[in-house]
Structure 1
């Protein structure tokens, strides 16, 4: 072989080496792109049937209105445009799409809202507390179809054509879910599981009579059960539609949805939150949590990528998009639906009732009584000829602006259709009734008529109750009180004293009718308008501490006179909000105490704070924090081993442990999962109370009566009953006779969540939000304290197997990769291979020619 031949072969080998490198690089890119499936998830939450409402909003927070937002014909334009532009798009919602609605929807049983959702193309959703406003039976009618028994709604209503899911909404008698717990969408050759779940707080936020047949089980346990079933079907991409609150905190999220993220299986990739009407886009425990405001003002758009080989989500990114009416034209189909129903209700909506002389705003009475609440309560008093009236803040859903008053205005304020109830009470009963509605975070809830009261901001207790003229109310006298039937029948701690104290109930008209009648009776005109405002009916008293003791030990603070200002330092031993409210326990070498009024700490923080001593339900606490400084981190003190009889005033507020206690009298004490049991050793017993907000709920408790356990918790007292309060799941562990398990070994609180769970499901304290946090109060109180059954024939096309089917009617198959780079790479690669073939053929011909020449 001569020199030129060798050189030619060397060039060819070098060229083939280059081609092989391109083959490796571009081949991998082509393979990687083909292994991924892009999917778009569009979502809404908390629409509340406000399908025709527009809102002027300051999105940037600079104090100036940025534009007009919302209204479902504009929402439809945004969603349809994105849905149609993406080959793999799914539209979902996280509950409370109906309930507390605008007249254009509410007067027709919210069937217009369903009609619009179907026109947009929703695929999956869950239920919130408001879907249960009229009970289980009406919810199932809404899902499955059928005309309303009283002729309300629309003719020929055929139900919802999208899947409704709830894994923790179950029948009490059978334990079966009233709706499918999950559904499976098939996109190209990957599958996505959607799980629905509703806050357990719903049980205390709607009429008890309407949901007597169902219960809401532990959310995390229900999700984990659904995840287990989905994984058994080979599904790894899992999305939870959760009507559970969340709030933004920097780059992450906090609240009950954040706690849910920590408690559920890591197979869960995304949680759509709802209920408290916030804008949230954060990651907790590698799970994306998203919530998109309220009332159709915004929606969420999440782009995900799913690996074909693992069937799991490998990338997820979200944005919350506000529905700016200036950037889109209204969708014609939805606009026509709105026009149809608006025309039907126009005569009733525009009925003139009177004239209002000023803007009346407000719902809860956090900062004292307000004109709108006073007007409503006065109307209740007038209609029922009662001594006293009370109206819950969550039932006031809109403002009454200056100008002409129409029937539609009053409907928007009171849309729930509750019925007035008059009952007999003793004068002394007013104290427990009013104390129960005082939130340690927000203050008062009810608007009132026929009485005035003062309350102590530090102790959160009513001080004095009088008639409006200041004369005393006889504690033993018999009086009449009027409330709505939501307040009068609710079993939540906030409202329960009303039904417990009230006797000889007399039912009245619908609350809206009473309000209309009262406004008419005033005979107001533009020349003689309604004038009403704050009248000092509710006054908070902030007492200045008389004793300022300076820096003291926690033990000295515990023994100080109530109302003393003290400065203490210690280590935080519990997560804020574990028992409701933004409070926590703190401990030094002398004692422990509960601190109320801050959620800006985490377990293990060394904290120095100045606050005022007080007492709540018999337990010593610090409140009215004026200074809080984190000075470092400290290890938690070991829990002191005690016998049940040793839990007392001496160790109240401290971490203690009881070893080898036998469980008895185990019982669930509310619908949220909180439970109690007696712990007994050597004939001595103490009550153990496990609050569901610590992460452990009754349905997930692994022990039963007769089991022996070790229990770590905070020594506490409630109205004279000493009790032990575990702080997290790991605080109750199995006892071994050999004594091998030392509960202190695991550091009782080191794995406690750092984020502060919101306390919105707390029926005792904060069943309601403030105006700023946007949380809604159920039936009338969708506050944070503030469904349907399976067999929905309209869901069959969306639910695979008996509950789940493919989403192919909406999601087009993606027949080829849409990424242009891999296609270009493939073309280059093909050209190189062709070139290499030509060069190789030339070489062969060249070699043959050389051989012939030699011959």
Structure 2
């Protein structure tokens, strides 16, 4: 009996070898009686990473990989699982049009909309979709009349193989984009919609593929695991949303292969499927990264288009707004789980423009770091790309505490709702139950009065109840103060040099009255003679993580496995490493 979520036994190869095997497999499929070979290339969570930058391959290199695979096997599909058209100034300055134009040149066959596709509003997304040369598909996005606003699925015939492809979008979009962006639509149950679509497709197709922007986070109620467990008949599930990196895919009990490429164009996913008489005989999944694609020529048309767009934006983005003598920390894993100096700077900018008592913004809205040195307008917009407006609310102290409890409910796990704050400080007791973790909450230097009224500055996303800050939804707006990026620019210009620190606004500390277990006394051990130092002691080699590194990539470079590095470094989450981190390497024999 197959164990759930077994790793597929396939090897990640260099691109040259991959293409050689792809060509050979295609030829073999053509000569062997009735066997046909289909290649599916897939991306997810690209977030408008348009240019080659470290581990990020950029659109032109990704398109070059697509070209190479199409040449090796004409029976190739190219799919995207969402969150493509938002995330950097390349996209946000023009409402996503730049990425839409580039994806048309790259030759996608279909995509599912992610939550960030809705950041420009549903009407804008539908407008962009009309201009695409490929369909945007999702079966669980409906209007107020309960009609689907996108095609739920498409059927493509490739070399006689009928492939059904359907889309699903995360219901979390309802609170992970500004509520105004989705006020005319609802997100229905992905499981029910998937079951209905699969029932409809089974008699019409040889192969069923789901494009699901659902993710694999356990904290997500509607994730891809839930769908593939409940719905039989899905042969391949191309996933997005959680930025999960699956090197070889996962196989479920229902025989669904789940694949995901991580994030930011750092990988292209490749799935090869062989069929005979309409039945799958073999599946293989792998990833292609920057190193694998070193000899691939970027697509010329995409290269030219990206350069044209960037050139048009240079004047605006290059404007200097100030300086910083320190690196401003905005890494995803940091701002969603801890106080950072950039989070403090942004919160203080809210206080600067509003003169409110306290400020709170969500870590998930901080999308990048800023290097030491000159700060440009483009960097600020990349950090705060959503165009959120600053609002003030007059709220009870009790609701400020409730808001903080919501933000730290998953602590120490990273969560987009994690609060970056100004004008207040608090402590988190991670051992306490969610909803009871915040203590020693102060406004300024004084303990908060839960019954008193305070003016809080926040962004309009949270003020409308986004990221489950529902306690704010009951309060009318007391004022509006422009966008977050404008406020941050104004504050940096006022400072001249922005040099924020981590000040201890948020600390992990056991609540008063929590018993601290005392270790049992141990007998004094017999003294042992100290060993004599060896004449040539071995030094354990260490690797310093760079931007864009993955544990898998580090392992490949040093002739080991990511599992060995995980165990040697006691990493609870092998997908979570950060620049500057020291990774101990196995000692050489």
2:440 is the alignment partner of 1:464: yes
Q: Against the structure 1 CA distance between its residues 50 and 383, is the aligned structure 2 distance closer, same or farther, given a 3 Å change threshold?
A: same
- Largest Rg, 1 or 2: 1
Contact 2:52 2:58 in 1 (8 A): yes
1:287 paired with 2:256, answer yes
**How many pairs does the alignment contain?**
483
For the Cα contact (< 8 Å) 1:305–1:314, is it kept in 2?
yes
SS at match of 2:404: helix
Runs of 4 or more off by more than 6 Å in structure 1?
29-32
Which structure carries more relative contact order (alpha carbon 8 Å, separation 6+)?
Answer: 1
CA RMSD in angstroms comes to: 2.6
5 Å matches for 1:213-228?
Answer: 213-228=184-199
Structure 1 CA distance for aligned equivalents of residues 496 and 517 of structure 2: 55
SS in 1 for 2:260: strand
Q: Give SS of 1:480's match.
A: strand
* Alignment deviations for residues 92-142 of structure 1 (CA, whole Å, 9 cap, x no partner): 111111122x21222121212112111111011111111111221111001
Secondary structure of the 1:279 match is: coil
Counterpart Cα distance in 2 of 1:181 and 1:195: 6
Residue from 315, 329, 333 that aligns with 1:347: 315
Q: Which residue of 2 aligns with 1:185?
A: 156
1:255 to partner: Cα distance: 9.3
Relative to the length of structure 2, the TM-score reads: 0.77
Q: Aligned match of 2:138 in 166, 171, 182?
A: 166
Structure 2 unmatched ranges of 5 or more: 1-27, 520-572, 579-589
Q: Distance in 2 between matches of 1:548 and 1:376?
A: 39
SS in 1 for 2:447: coil
Q: 1:131 to 1:255 in 2, by over 3 A?
A: closer
Could you say which structure has the higher strand fraction? Answer: 1
SS in 1 for 2:237: strand
What is the CA-CA distance between 1:48 and the residue it aligns to? 1.1
Partner of 1:495: 469
Aligned position for 2:78? 91
Distance 1:414 1:189 in 2: 47
In structure 1, C-alpha distance between the alignment counterparts of 2:338 and 2:158, rounded to whole Å: 54
Matched, 1:273 2:249: no
- Equivalent in the alignment of 1:322: 289
Structure 1 residue 523, shift from structure 2 partner? 1.9
Give the secondary-structure state (helix, strand or coil) at the position aligned to 2:165.
strand
User: Are the aligned partners of 2:95 and 2:120 in contact in 1 as well (CA < 8 Å)?
Assistant: no
- Residue 277 of structure 1: how far off its partner (Å): 0.9
Corresponding position of 2:386: 416
Q: Deviations over 1:147-206 (max 9, x none)?
A: xxxxxxxxxxxx101011101111232x22111111011012221100111122222211
Q: Which SS does the other structure have where 2:446 is aligned? A: coil
Instruction: Look up the SS of the partner of 1:165 in the other structure.
Output: coil
Q: Which residue of 1 aligns with 2:279?
A: 312
Q: Per-residue deviation at 1:475?
A: 3.5
Q: Does 1:141 align with 2:109?
A: no
Alignment of 1:708-723 (within 5 A): none
Partner SS, residue 133 of structure 1: helix
The separation in 2 between residues aligned to 1:359 and 1:203, in whole angstroms, is 34
Alpha-carbon distance in 2 for matches of 1:49, 1:333: 17
Measured in 2, the distance between the counterparts of 1:216 and 1:303 equals: 32
CA distance in 1, matches of 2:243, 2:36: 31
2:483 to 510, 514, 525: 510
TM-score when normalising by structure 1: 0.54
Cα 1:340/1:205, change in 2 over 3 Å: same
Q: Where do 1:804-823 residues align within 5 Å?
A: none
- Specify the SS of the correspondent of 2:155: strand
How far is 1:504 from its partner?
4.4
Gap change, CA 1:133 and 1:69, over 3 Å in 2: closer
Deviation at 1:367, TM superposition (A): 5.4
Deviation of 1:379 after TM superposition, in Å, equals: 0.4
CA deviation profile, 1:285-320 (whole Å, cap 9, x unmatched): 21111001111111111111122x3x2333211111
Counterpart pick for 2:326 among 358, 370, 378 = 358
Q: 1:78 to 1:401 in 2, by over 3 A?
A: same
2:223 is matched with 256
